[in-house]
Chain A
C-alpha cells in the first residue's frame, strides 16, 4: 500500500504549475505573492518525496530551510505591500508603473 514516488512528483508538478498560473494570471500583488508560496510548497513536496525515495536526509533538511526562509519572505513581502498600499492606495500591478522606460 505504498504510494509511488511518481504520484507525489506529479502533485508537486501540478502545484508548481498552478502557482505559476497564479503568478502570471493575477494582477493583485498579494495574490501573486500567495501563488509564489504555492510554488514553494510544491518544491518542498518534491524534496521530501525525493528524500524519502533516495534514502538521504538532505532533502528533508532543505525543506526546513525553505519553509523558514519562505516565512521570512512572506512577512517581509507583506510589509512592503502594506507600505506601498499606504502610499499609493493600490496593490494592482497594472497601476504600479511609476518606474518604466
Chain B
C-alpha cells in the first residue's frame, strides 16, 4: 500500500500542527498523546517489512513539476525502512521523554511543533526518491534543528551556536544541491532508484569528481565529518531531548544515509572510497581525542557520536560486504544506545542540576531505573557481548582483517577508536552511578526521574540487549534489505547470530584488546585528560572552528568597511561613482577597439553658427561655475535658446518653438524657486574640484569622440535633402511632424501627456497647502 508513506508523513505533520493546541489544554501530559503519531507511523511501516524483505519496494508517486523531470515520489526500500523505523521508533520515546524533561516550560507547545516537524522532515528525507525532494526535506531538517538548538535562546551563546549549525549545514546543502543538479543533468533523471542503476554513466562522466565533492560537501557538513565537525558538539546547547534525537540518533545520520543511498552509483571509484575512508577515520580519531578531556557528560556523548559518524563513513568507504554489514549493524546499535544515554544524562541533569562528571557519583541508589538503562546502554556501546554493540564491533574487525597493505591502517584506527570509545562509554554511562555518593555538592537533591523520562531509556536499552541475543528478526528484516540497498545487490540471507561470532579468531582477539584497553582508558581518565588538554590548547587556534570564526568575523568586518566606504550618504559620491563607472565602460570599450581615428573638417562653417556655438559653450561653462543663481540661470537660458536656434537652423521650426517655450518656462520655474532660497556659497575644496573636473572632462571628451566616431562615415546627403525638400516648401509638409505625433506615434504622445499629468499631480501632492487629517483605517 504505497499510500502508507504519504499517510505516515501526513500524520506526523498534522500532529505537529496540533501540538501547540494540545499542549495548551493538556500541559506536559500532551506528550503521551502526541507520541501516538510516530508510533502509529512505526507500526504502519513495520507492517511493510515482509514485503521489503521479499525484495519489493513501496513507491508512491505524483507529478510535481516537469521542467526538471522531477516528481513527488516516495520510495520505501530496505535502507529507507531501516531509517524510517529508527526515526519514528526513537522519535516516539523522545516525544514522551520531552514531556517530562520540559515539564512546565512555557513554550512546550512550540517545542513539540518543531520536534514533530523535524520528525516529519526526517521521515520524508529517508523515504523520498526524488533528489529535489530530498533537498527540500534536508533543508527542513536543518531549519527545525536550528529552531530546536536555539530553543533556550536566552543565552547569546546558544543563539550563536544554533546559527553556526545552520550556516555550516546550509553551505553544505547548497553545494549538495548543485551536485544534485549535476547528477540530474548527467543522468537525465532525478530519481534515486534510477540514478543508483546508472553508476557507470556517472563514473564515466567528466563531472564525476565535481559531483562527488559537492555531494560530500552536503553529507560531510550534515554528518559532521572533519573539517566540519565542530558544529555538532556546539549543537548540544539545545535541550537534551533534541540532542538525543537530532544530534545523535537521526539527523546527523542524514549525511550517512545520503552517502549510503548513493553508494551503488559511486562504489568502485577510488575517489569515493578513499575520500570516505580517510575522512571517516580522521573524524573518528579527532573525536576520540577531543572526547577524552570533556568534563560535561553531554559533551562526552557528543564526541562519541562524532566518532561513530566517523566509523560509519569509514566503513562505507571500505565498502566490502562485511564493512557495509558492520555499518548497518553499528548504525542500529548506536541509535539505540546513544538515544538511551542522552536521555539518561538528561534525567541526571534534570534531577541533580549538573552534568559535570567530576561531581556526579553514586546515583544508582537514588535513580535505579535510570542507572540500569544507562548501564546497559554503556555496555552495548562498549561492545561487550551479548549486546548488539558487540555484533557491530565484531563485524568491523572482520571487515578490517580482510584489508591488506596500507589499508590495514583503517583497522588500527578502528581499534584505537573503539578502545577510547569504550573508555568514554564507561565514563559517561557508568561513572555517574557508581562510587561513593556525594549528594552534598550537587545543586539539587536527586531522586528517580518520572515515568515519562525512564520509559524510553529502559525500552531502548533493553532492546539493545534483546536483539543482541536474538538478532534474527532484526538482521533478516532490517539489516539484510538495507545491506542490499547500499550495495545495490540482491537481498541475501544473513547469519549474524551471536554464537557464530563468539569463536576464537582474530576479530575476537581484537575485541579482547579493545575491552582491556577501554578499561585502561577508563581507569586512567584523569591522566589522559591532562595530556589532552595541553595538546588541545596549542592546536585550538588553528582548528576548523577557529577558521570558521575568522571567516565569519572577516565577513562582518568587510561588510561594515564596504558600507562605510561606499554608502556615505553623500549624493556627490554616488554621482561620482556612477559617472566613473560609465567612463570606465567607455574607456574599456574604446581601448579594446584599439583607439580612435577620425578627422573633422573645420573649414567652411557658417560664421553665425560658429559664434552661436561659442556663445553656448561659454554660457554652459558659466552655468556650471557661476556664483549666483541669477548668473547660472541666465547662462542656462542662453544655452537653451542657442539649442532652439540651431533647431530652427536645421529646419525644425516646430521643435525650435517648443524648445523656446519650454526653456522660458523652465527659467521662470527656476526663478520662482531661486527667490526662496538663500544665496549660493562656495563650491568645493580645491582637491575635490580638481579631481571632479578631470573626471568630468574625461567623460565629456570621451563622449564627444564617440559621437564624432559615429558620424565619421560619409553620409549620403541625397536622402536627407530629399526629406528636407519634401517637408519644407510644401505647405502640408509643415504638418508632417504633427501628423506623426498624433497618428504614427500616438501612443507615445499619450504617454507624454501622462507624464505631464503625473508631474502636475505629484507637485500638487508635494506642495499643496492645507493638509487633511490622518486617514482612517476601516
Question: CB within 8 Å of B: which residues of A?
Answer: 1, 3-32, 34-35, 37-38, 41, 44-46, 48-57, 60-61, 63-65, 67-76, 78-83, 85, 91-94, 96-101
Contacts and interface: CB of A to CB of B under 8 A. Distances in A.
A81 B711 contact: no
Main secondary structure of the interface of A (DSSP, over half): helix
A34 B700 contact: no
Given A23-B575, A60-B737, A71-B662, 10 more contacts: A35-B623, A49-B650, A51-B652, A53-B715, A57-B736, A60-B652, A63-B659, A74-B670, A91-B677, A93-B570
B759 to A, nearest CB: 4
Contacts of A98: 569
Contact of A61 (B625, B704, B711, B741): B741
A34 B563 CA distance: 30
Contacts of A3: 605-606, 609
Nearest to A35: B624
Interface string B544-580: 0000000000000000000110011111100110010
Contacts, number: 261
A76 B646 contact: no
Contacts of A57: 723, 736-737, 740
A86 to B, nearest CB: 9
Contacts of A15: 616-617, 620, 639
Interface stretch (B231-239, B535-543, B762-770): B762-770
Contacts of A49: 650
Contacts of A72: 755-756, 758-759
Which of A54, A64, A71, A82 has the most CB atoms of chain B within a 10 A radius of its CB?
A: A64
Which of A7, A24, A72, A80 has the most CB atoms of chain B within a 10 A radius of its CB?
A: A24
A74 B666 contact: yes
B697 A21 contact: yes
Interface string B642-667: 01001100111011001100100110
B693 A64 contact: no
Contacts of A8: 646
Interface in B79-135: none
B569 A100 contact: yes
Contacts of B611: none
Interface in B175-206: none
A94 to B, nearest CB: 6
B600 interface: yes
Contacts of B567: 100-101
Given A17-B697, A38-B639, A74 B676 contact: no
A25 B683 contact: yes
A53 to B, nearest CB: 5
A76 B759 contact: yes
Contacts of A44: 643, 659
A83 B460 CA distance: 74
A78 B670 contact: yes
Interface in B727-778: 736-737, 740-741, 745, 748, 752, 755-756, 758-760, 762-763, 766-767
B652 A48 contact: yes
Nearest to B603: A4
